[in-house]
Amino acid sequence: MISPSWRLCCNFTGVMIKNLLTFCLWVGFVACSLQAQELTIDVPDDMVLVKGGNAQIGNDQGFDNEKPAFEQYISPFLLDKTCVKVREFRLFVQIIGYKTDAEREGYSFLYDENAQEWVKKAGCNWQFPNGPDQPKAQDDDFVVHVSWEDAKAYANFIKKRLPTEFEWEFAASQAQSLGLALMDGSLWQWCENWYENYAGDRYYKKNIQEYKVMRGGFFMDSPALAFRPSLRSSGRTFQTFFHTGFRCARSVKF
């Protein structure tokens, strides 16, 4: 004869097994659903899908503002294969009559190789990247001399956004396999977020909320350092430079 306590134990075990099986089936269903949703994401021809995952951000061997390295989960997102070109930016300007910060201010910054310093040059803007006395930008050139505000206005107009700096670094670390261009020191690129110190950063002493993040690097700054995905810089939202452009991103909605 089975004792009441043994029968109770068996019933409890049966319930636990049933619940466990139900949970496993639910997990499997969710996983399959997510996989199916991923397969139905509409990826435009000019963008790539960056699948989410845990990313190592920063570099313990880098500058103070790259330290320490840490792990960060990145949600899936879409990213432009390359930076915005002059022809694309011109269309935006023509449609809404937009004027960039450099055009309104009447100058932008160029790097003087002889003086080894950045200089302010009148008439420098996205149409005349080397100044009004030099050839006009070509359609397939990457647009430069654009501020964060300019980049943001363009992204909003085409229903995209700027990438966060963590998204940018995560994508840059797998640029070759994703088919991304200009992630290797060709241009500094504006990111969405405000610059914030990492734990090891001693550079900024005052209010860093005046600065937006730039990622990418530029080979003329320092060829030895320009090819590191974790390299960080920043600029005020209105500042414009010869070596600064941008690319756009888009959030993935399942």
pLDDT digits (tens, 9 = 90+) for 130-168: 999 999 999 999 999 999 999 999 999 999 999 999 999
Three-state DSSP class for 16?
Answer: helix
What would the two tokens of residue 141 be? 């050139």
Q: How confident is the model at residue 208 (pLDDT cuts 50, 70, 90)?
A: low
| Whole-number percent of the chain with pLDDT over 70 | 78
User: What average pLDDT does the segment 16-31 reach?
Assistant: 47
pLDDT beyond 60 at 7: no
Quote the pLDDT of residue 29.
45
Spatial distance between the Cα atoms of 235 and 252, rounded to a whole number of angstroms? 28
Consecutive H or E run containing 54: strand 53-57
Among candidate residues 126, 128, 63, the one with its CA nearest the CA of residue 98: 126
Among left, alpha and beta (phi > 0; psi -120 to 50; other), residue 199 is alpha
Range from 5-9, 15-19, 138-142, 250-254 that averages highest in pLDDT: 138-142
Q: Whole-angstrom distance between the N-terminal and C-terminal Cα of the chain? A: 56
> Which is nearest to 216 in space by CA: 241, 254, 177, 186?
186
DSSP-assigned letter for residue 180? -
- Alpha-carbon gap, residue 62 to 198, rounded angstroms: 12
* pLDDT at residue number 206: 55
Cα angle 249, 247, 96; round to 5? 95
Q: Is 182 left (phi over 0), alpha (psi -120 to 50) or beta?
A: left
> Phi and psi dihedrals of 245, rounded to 5?
-130, -150
Please state whether the peptide bond connecting residue 68 to the residue before it is cis, i.e. omega within 30 degrees of 0.
yes
Q: Kind of pairing, strands 70-74 and 53-57?
A: antiparallel
Top-confidence range, 6-15, 73-82, 110-119: 73-82
Give yes or no for a contact between 215 and 195, defined as CB atoms under 8 angstroms apart: no
Q: Is 175 helix (H, G, I), strand (E, B) or coil?
A: helix
For residues 75 and 3, the model is more confident at 75
Is residue 235 within 8 Å of residue 193, measured between CB atoms? no
Per-residue pLDDT reduced to its tens digit, 180-201: 998 987 899 999 999 988 887 7
